[in-house]
A and B are shown apart, each in its own frame.
Chain A
Amino acid sequence: MSEVKKFLYVNRKAPYGTIYALESLEVVLIGAAFDQDVSLAFLDDGVFQLTRNQNTETIGVKNFSPTFRALGDYDVTKLYVERESLAERGLSESDLQEITYEDEDDDWAEKPSIRIVSRAEMADIMADQDVVLSF
């Protein structure tokens, strides 16, 4: 096995209206097969992707928000959400759906995947990556 690289998928757009959010998630799921260190970042309108109780019935597209809860099964367990982006949109952590993963090394204990970070922390997270993919 070659060395593990750190991949960060940056999500900046609202979930519907463009295809970016769904495509990003699909790439994450496909890429997860390659045993890399994968994390996701949500900032700007991207924070809307994780809001709870999404309902797409009247816009005629699939509500793919439940798929974020499957990420733990794919060993994707770090979802960084920028606090300032939430606040600028009148959102808080309680507006986001609960996403957890089961820690295989800790007797399958359920742990939260979403980590709220400040803008400055987000910059550090980005600087720490080998590969940053922007959607």
Chain B
Amino acid sequence: MAYQINGHAVEHDEEGYITTLADWSKELAEAIAETENINMTDEHWAVVNFLRDYYEEYQIAPAVRVLIKAIKKEMGPEKGNNKYMYELFPYGPAKQACKIAGLPKPTGCV
């Protein structure tokens, strides 16, 4: 299974997570978002970029609880809450946003 980006294929697993993290690009993120029925806005990008930075620093995708706490600290309580996150990513911020960010499924995501 693969996403088609500019004429070449990017492999992904049965749930849509890309298999090689280095394959990620902004175009790919847009393509994955489309399959999730998400239209990427600046607000979506802020979360996706945050996740990528977190992974770069700690080598894990954070749990939802940790993600929301960190967003709250960086961007304020009006964004760092469950409601706002689920409005952006209706099927779960950690799951959907991590997929779009090209990261593995979060540890402890059941």
Interface residues, chain A, with chain B CB atoms under 8 Å away: 26, 29-30, 32-33, 62-64, 66-67, 69-70, 73-74, 108
Q: How many residues of B contact A (CB 8 A)?
A: 14
How many residue-residue contacts, CB under 8 A, span A and B?
36
Interface secondary structure of B, over-half rule: helix
How far, in whole Å, are A18 and B48 apart by their CA atoms in the complex?
33
Cβ of B70 within 8 Å of any chain A Cβ, yes or no, is: yes
Interface residues, chain B, with chain A CB atoms under 8 Å away: 54, 57-60, 62-63, 65-66, 69-70, 73, 107-108
How far, in whole Å, are A73 and B69 apart by their CA atoms in the complex?
8
With A29-B107, A29-B108, A73-B69 already in contact, the answer to whether A67 and B63 are too (CB < 8 A) is no
Task: Please name all residues of chain B whose beta carbon is closer than 8 Å to the beta carbon of A63 when the two chains form the complex.
Answer: 59
Q: Are B107 and A66 in contact (CB under 8 A)?
A: no
Q: Can you show 18 pairs from A to B with CB atoms below 8 A apart? A: A29-B107, A30-B108, A33-B65, A33-B108, A62-B59, A66-B57, A66-B58, A66-B59, A67-B59, A69-B58, A70-B57, A70-B60, A70-B62, A70-B66, A73-B62, A74-B63, A74-B66, A108-B73
State the Cβ distance, B65 to closest chain A Cβ, in Å: 7
Query: Which residue of A64, A66, A73 has the most chain B CB atoms within 10 A of its CB atom?
Result: A73
